[in-house]
């Protein structure tokens, strides 16, 4: 059970290791808070849909499983979308298009197909939590770096004095690509070093 949880955090981290579900990673991470909330919204969908799909795995015929999974996922996404619209309207307008697009996030469908369709409800839910949190920390880290360098603040709190020069490019699309590329290189270096010390 513990293994199911930690796998998503590091060894099979969806962003840095599996390189899936990258669109929201790049698009919403202008600030740390946006990254965190997008991550948590995806985590919620992931836990609910993994648990329900695992519950229904013996009822869904193998031939139509992909459309059935998509319907389950789309239902939970619609719920999250409507709840956020009602209670967090500011956040909802910032994340905008990328909330409904959780439906086509490969992480959710990927975990449904690769894990939830074969394992018990509890294990699937735990796997969902691990993968979701792995995705969340990646988004929050990228958001924090871009917010710090791009607008000199962190979680909305200004850290640099008024009028300090910031790297405006970090808030623009090129900044997202370049930061993620460098972060991936860093993860590769850490893994290579771990392997070296292990052997």
- Nearer of residues 150 and 175 to other proteins, judged by Cβ: 175
Residue from 36, 51, 109, 126 binding other proteins (CB under 8 A): 109
**Stretch binding other proteins (CB under 8 A), from 46-54, 126-134, 141-149, 185-193:** 185-193
Does 175 bind other proteins (CB under 8 A)? Our answer is yes
What angle in degrees, to the nearest 10, is found between the helix axes of 32-56 and 121-151?
170
Shortest distance in whole angstroms from residue 101 CB to other proteins: 5
Does 14 bind other proteins (CB under 8 A)? Our answer is no
The whole-angstrom separation of Cα 145 and Cα 159 is: 13
Q: Which residues pair with 153 in a beta bridge?
A: 158
Does 89 bind other proteins (CB under 8 A)? Our answer is no
Residue from 64, 71, 83, 159 binding other proteins (CB under 8 A): 71
Does 176 bind other proteins (CB under 8 A)? Our answer is yes
Shortest distance in whole angstroms from residue 162 CB to other proteins: 27
Does 64 bind other proteins (CB under 8 A)? Our answer is no
**Residue 10 tokens, joined:** 């590091």
**Stretch binding other proteins (CB under 8 A), from 6-14, 30-38, 93-101, 140-148:** 93-101
Residue from 6, 82, 122, 160 binding other proteins (CB under 8 A): 82
DSSP string, 132-190: HHHHHHHHHHHHHHHHHHHHSEETTEE-SPTT----GGGGSHHHHHHHHHHHHHHHHHH
The whole-angstrom separation of Cα 134 and Cα 11 is: 10
Name the residue among 29, 4, 1 with its Cα closest to residue 15.
29
């Amino acid at each position: 059970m513990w293994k199911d949880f930690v796998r998503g955090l590091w060894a099979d981290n969806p962003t840095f290791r599996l390189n899936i579900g990258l669109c929201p990673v790049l698009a919403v991470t202008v600030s740390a808070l946006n990254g965190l909330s997008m991550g948590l919204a995806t985590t919620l969908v992931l836990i609910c849909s993994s648990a329900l799909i695992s519950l229904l795995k013996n009822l869904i015929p193998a031939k139509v499983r992909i459309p059935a999974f998509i319907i389950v996922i789309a239902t939970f996404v619609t719920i999250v979308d409507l709840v956020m619209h009602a209670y967090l309207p500011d956040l909802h307008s910032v994340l905008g298009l990328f909330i409904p697009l959780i439906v086509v996030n490969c992480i959710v469908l990927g975990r449904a197909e690769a894990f939830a369709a074969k394992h018990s409800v509890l294990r699937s839910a735990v796997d969902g939590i691990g993968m979701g949190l792995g995705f969340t920390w990646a988004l929050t880290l990228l958001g924090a770096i871009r917010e710090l360098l791009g607008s000199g603040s962190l979680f909305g709190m200004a850290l640099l004095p008024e009028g300090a020069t910031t790297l405006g490019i970090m808030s623009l699309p090129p900044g997202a690509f370049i930061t993620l590329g460098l972060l991936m290189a860093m993860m590769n270096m850490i893994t290579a070093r771990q392997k070296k010390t292990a052997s």
